[in-house]
């Protein structure tokens, strides 16, 4: 799609519009605000796949009964070092926030905490939860499974069997330095990024997609055909193995729904296995900070005079956030039309987008 067909929108009007839609769909003020916070933040950071383009799917799931507004997080088991939480098919933006808050509190007392969050609706950009932990001074690692129509082909296969199963790790830093956040789907691209390309009438890069017959393609429309195409994992067998680990930790170990066949409904369910560590509590506070900065200096030492070549995880997102906060968030007409249609379905006849 040509750039001149893209419209830009200020983040504040977008946030207000998203919150309005979900209040009309039945969410309370806090829930609508948290959902809008995370979706718009994903757009600001350049991850349009996890941004406001998810609104139509969320509305569809609310109306079908597959997503339960105003659900509250339930602690199913408190094992001291591990909290097992049930997301009740509630909004992941609420379930993820509240589960991490419990884990942060527990890790602050004991030094570590494992948080198992099972059967939440879509958790959004998983890096958001690593950032929440890092803001509290905690290192965190997150393994997530995705229950939906199978989208991703295991290495050596031609037929989708798994979800996009993301992996995330976050590392806080001292003196106001931004955290290191490693966040990626185990597929070559997140499905949402394929959706964005499809709505923009753009091809994806080679090595990402297969047709339903198992042939390589760059056409994102194959993921919206019947029968559907499939995504490949990153790194061949390595990404495939990490995807399996995310499924087993996020789902099987947590007692959650697992991907063992086509799901019975259209909900996007996530379960997340998170390990939270407080370096200060363990006596490693200053040592951890110093060692971390030493590693980062060496990591970027090829550019010791001008640190612009080797970038740290999170740097591109921070640059994009500054630019989009100033200039607006670009959204293609197809995606915006879908958002207006979703708004109409819950009784919002007009959106003030400035």
Q: What residues pair up with 146 in beta bridges, in sequence order?
A: 270
The yes-or-no verdict on residue 266 having pLDDT over 90 is: no
Local confidence band at 306 (pLDDT 50, 70, 90 cut-offs): low
Helix axes 29-44, 92-110, angle to 10 degrees: 90
At residue 4, the pLDDT reads: 52
Element (H, E) at 103: helix 92-110
At residue 2, the pLDDT reads: 42
Cβ 22 vs Cβ 58: under 8 Å: yes
Local confidence band at 305 (pLDDT 50, 70, 90 cut-offs): low
At residue 354, the pLDDT reads: 77
When pLDDT is averaged across residues 312-325 and rounded to a whole number, the result is 96
Q: Which residue has the tokens 């030492």?
A: 301
Q: Where is pLDDT greater, at 26 or 176? A: 26
Local confidence band at 269 (pLDDT 50, 70, 90 cut-offs): very high
Q: What residues pair up with 120 in beta bridges, in sequence order?
A: 270
Kindly write down the DSSP assignment for every residue of 200-267, as one continuous string: TT-PPPTTSEE-TTS-EE--GGGGGSSS--EEEBTTTHHHHHHHHHHHIIIIITTT----SS--SSS-
Q: Which residue has the tokens 């369910």?
A: 269
When pLDDT is averaged across residues 324-333 and rounded to a whole number, the result is 96
The yes-or-no verdict on residue 1 having pLDDT over 50 is: no
Q: For 74-92, how does the pLDDT look when each residue is reduced to its tens digit (9 = 90+)?
A: 999 999 999 999 999 999 9
CA distance 272 to 119: 9
Local confidence band at 280 (pLDDT 50, 70, 90 cut-offs): confident
Q: Where is pLDDT greater, at 283 or 275? A: 275
Q: For 170-210, how does the pLDDT look when each residue is reduced to its tens digit (9 = 90+)?
A: 999 989 999 999 999 999 998 989 999 999 999 999 999 99
When pLDDT is averaged across residues 138-154 and rounded to a whole number, the result is 95
Q: What residues pair up with 143 in beta bridges, in sequence order?
A: 167, 273
Q: Where exactly are the structural domains of the chain?
A: 1-70+315-354, 76-187+233-289
Q: What percent of the chain has pLDDT over 90?
A: 86
CA distance 237 to 30: 42
Local confidence band at 3 (pLDDT 50, 70, 90 cut-offs): very low
CA distance 231 to 223: 8
172-to-257, 284, 293 alpha-carbon distances in Å: 31, 13, 11
Q: What percent of the chain has pLDDT over 70?
A: 96
At residue 310, the pLDDT reads: 87
**CATH architecture assignment, domain 1-70+315-354:** Orthogonal Bundle (1.10)
Does the domain spanning 76-187+233-289 belong to CATH 2.30.29.30? Answer: no
Instruction: Give the highest mean pLDDT range of 4-18, 22-36, 200-214, 284-298.
Output: 22-36
Cβ 174 vs Cβ 306: under 8 Å: no
Cβ 115 vs Cβ 85: under 8 Å: yes
82 token code pair: 């591990």
Element (H, E) at 269: strand 269-277
CA distance 137 to 97: 16
83-to-40, 116, 247, 304 alpha-carbon distances in Å: 29, 6, 19, 43
Do domains 1-70+315-354 and 76-187+233-289 share one topology? The answer is no
Local confidence band at 309 (pLDDT 50, 70, 90 cut-offs): confident
338 token code pair: 């879908």
Closest alpha carbon to 30 in 87, 71, 80: 71
At residue 308, the pLDDT reads: 65
When pLDDT is averaged across residues 102-107 and rounded to a whole number, the result is 97
CA distance 5 to 202: 13
């Amino acid at each position: 799609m040509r750039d001149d067909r893209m419209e830009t929108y200020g983040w504040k009007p977008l946030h207000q519009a998203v919150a309005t839609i979900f209040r009309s769909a039945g969410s309370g003020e806090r829930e609508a605000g948290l959902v809008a916070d995370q979706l718009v933040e994903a757009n600001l950071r350049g991850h349009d796949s996890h941004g406001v383009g998810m609104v139509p799917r969320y509305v569809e799931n609310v109306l079908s009964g597959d997503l339960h507004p105003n659900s509250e997080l339930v602690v199913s088991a408190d094992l001291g070092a591990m909290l097992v939480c049930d997301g009740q098919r509630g909004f992941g933006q609420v379930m993820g926030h509240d589960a991490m808050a419990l884990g942060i509190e527990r890790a602050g007392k004991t030094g570590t905490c494992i948080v198992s969050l099972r059967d939440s609706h879509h958790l959004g950009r998983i890096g958001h939860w690593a950032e929440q932990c890092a803001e509290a001074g905690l290192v965190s690692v997150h393994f997530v499974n995705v229950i939906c129509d199978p989208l991703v082909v295991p290495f050596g296969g031609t037929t989708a069997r798994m979800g996009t199963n993301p992996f995330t790790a976050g590392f806080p830093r001292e003196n106001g330095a931004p955290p290191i956040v490693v966040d990626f789907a185990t597929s070559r691209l997140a499905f949402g990024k394929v959706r964005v390309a499809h709505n923009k009438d753009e091809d994806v890069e080679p090595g990402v997609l297969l047709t339903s017959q198992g042939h390589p393609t760059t056409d994102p429309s194959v993921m919206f055909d019947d029968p559907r195409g499939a995504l490949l994992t990153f790194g061949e067998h390595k990404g495939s193995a990490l995807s399996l680990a995310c499924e087993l930790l996020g789902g099987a170990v947590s007692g959650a729904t697992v991907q063992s066949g086509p799901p019975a409904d259209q909900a996007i369910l996530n379960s997340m296995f998170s390990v939270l560590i407080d370096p200060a509590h363990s006596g490693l506070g200053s040592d951890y900070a110093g060692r971390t900065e030493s590693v980062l200096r060496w990591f970027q030492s090829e550019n010791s005079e001008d640190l612009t070549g080797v970038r740290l995880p999170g740097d591109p997102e921070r640059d994009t956030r500054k630019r989009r906060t100033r200039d607006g968030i670009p959204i293609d007409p197809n995606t915006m039309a879908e958002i207006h249609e979703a708004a109409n379905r819950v009784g919002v006849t007009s959106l003030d987008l400035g």
